[in-house]
Chain A
Amino acid sequence: MANEARATLRETPLLTVIDLRGEVTTFADDAINSAYRQVSERGAKNILLNFSGVDHLNSAGIAIIIGVLTETRKADQCLLITGLTPHYRKVFHIMGLARYVPIFDSEDAARQSIDSR
């Protein structure tokens, strides 16, 4: 029944992008954490989670993202987010996540923020 979560990796200048698709719920745990482990093993420092292909996100899915954020903080990596709908952007603000992970309107805007450091 569920539209299974998929996470695919993409190397771009300055950013390693994890493109998320489908439903980010408890079932997305393996897909997201496996993608995160792969980019970490490649030595990625700036990781962009792209939610533009996500059609459903719930609190269990956001908990997985909090887990990834925890790991990036330990590993001195920078996690960035793009592709959230206005509603999920509001949810991230309500939860306080926006204070810990920058949320951008586009991949280009995320890249510019890295480039301008």
Chain B
Amino acid sequence: MVSGKPTAKRRRNRTIELGIPSDLGWERAAMDVAASVARCMGFPADRIEDIKTAVAEATLNAIEHGNSLDASQRVLIVLVPEGEKLEINVRDRSSTPFPPAEAVGAPSLEDKLTGLSNTRGWGTFLIRSLVDEVEFTSTSEGNLVRMVIHLEP
């Protein structure tokens, strides 16, 4: 029987952490690290591309919206390879919580093409489309996006 404590320790030992400044462009670093970890875990090339885009979009949101492009505030990316799945957490220091899930629908391209809404606002939609599990959590310390991608779909 495996107790909770050693499991937590093993999980910590396998964790990869990256802290980046909230400057546009640094999301590439998060993307590259996630791709390297996914490659080591044996993810196929097409899933690695999905992971890269999802991590880049989550990190971009954290930089732009979460930390309001304040380079002194860091975005923390934590990757946890666990057997047949990769968990990726992206955390910012935002004091503004995520909008409730029911308030965030799929963006309407037609609205964007006709000028009824801003052409941006695709990040969350792409993340939801490209990973197997995603959770958006707001706490007093900031916002967290937790993504899980399975080796076998």
> A residues bordering B, Cβ < 8 Å?
1-2, 25-27, 56, 58-60, 62-64, 66-67, 69-70, 73, 85-87, 91, 94-97, 99-100
Contacts and interface: CB of A to CB of B under 8 A. Distances in A.
B137 to A, nearest CB: 21
B56 A63 contact: no
Interface of B: 24-28, 46, 49-50, 53, 56-57, 60, 107, 109, 112-115, 118-120, 122-123, 125-126, 129-130
19 contacts: A1-B25, A27-B24, A58-B53, A58-B56, A58-B57, A59-B60, A63-B118, A63-B120, A69-B113, A70-B112, A70-B119, A86-B46, A87-B46, A87-B53, A94-B130, A95-B107, A95-B126, A97-B109, A100-B109
Contacts, number: 63
Contacts of A73: 113
B126 A91 contact: yes
A97 B108 CA distance: 11
Nearest to B129: A94
